[in-house]
Structure 1
């Protein structure tokens, strides 16, 4: 799977992505609303990549590495994931997510990569409804989901606080 936008390439994760993934996931600001502690060793990032690569095999989709075309650097991840474990009472549904290294925040990359993923999901995979969730305090992520056309349908409690649950139907996608 390979998606491309004006400024980004979204591709499957490779083992060589571990160092840049660790740079992101070891940052406390990045992990603030995730409900996980920052990673402390690059081997944890290697395990994350193995898990995502297994999702590609098992489910046909998984989060994609986001590469900035200008620098050719991994700047985060974005994409669809099949929720195989229950989240807010939902299971076996497609979830949109994204996460970026802080120096790339505020540049429109999350929105740009999410649009590419939604286009692929709705038009390529013919998914009828996609879901997303974000911590209630994560204003940036909640803003992006609303801008993409998601509507907040519920809220639920996670160990780290309240999360908003979003839904987007193919017929309502802009």
Structure 2
């Protein structure tokens, strides 16, 4: 297995079709549904399509995307973290999501911080944006802790949900 990066406790790697069960669990977790949105991924076939049309496609087109976060010791899939190229944003953004039982352990900060540095230092992406719903106070706090600052509120085309846009400093 080729890892993109490693931290003290975690590893980051590309998602594969072997991760379908994990994707079904993550995309139907309460936090994902509340703060990211329902992607209508309820079964393995839908998860396979989600992977093929999202992360796997992004790896081919951009050489980056949303990656799987796993624990080093147990090699358990616990979340995702990565860089996303969205049609409606001027620059790539960082995103992360973790299974509910893996929250409040410092994993999101550990991997988001490492991913941000990887994107700047290795992928040479700058600035890096982040989008978050205003109600997601934990993610907002994490974005600020890894060095992003609030820029403005905005709406994605065709969406009525107000989002907050953050960016790396100096952008």
Report if TM-score (shorter chain) is over 0.5: yes
Measured after TM superposition, the shift of residue 24 of structure 1 is 1.2
Q: Is the 8 A contact 1:30 1:102 kept in 2?
A: no
- What is the CA RMSD across the aligned residues, in angstroms? 1.8
Measured after TM superposition, the shift of residue 96 of structure 1 is 0.2
TM-score by length of 2: 0.89
Q: Is the 8 A contact 1:28 1:37 kept in 2?
A: no
TM-score by length of 1: 0.88
Measured after TM superposition, the shift of residue 94 of structure 1 is 1.3
Unaligned ranges ≥5, structure 2: none
Q: Match for residue 165 of structure 1?
A: 165
- Runs ≥4 in structure 1, deviation > 6 angstroms? none
Query: Which residue, 121, 124, 138 being the options, matches 1:123?
Result: 121
Measured after TM superposition, the shift of residue 161 of structure 1 is 2.7
Query: Which residue, 98, 101, 117 being the options, matches 2:99?
Result: 101
Number of aligned residues: 166
Unaligned ranges ≥5, structure 1: none
Q: Match for residue 136 of structure 2?
A: 138
Alignment of 1:49-64 (within 5 A): 49-51=51-53, 52-64=55-67
Q: Is the 8 A contact 1:98 1:110 kept in 2?
A: yes
CA separation of 1:106/1:13 partners in 2, compared to 1, >3 Å: closer, same or farther? same
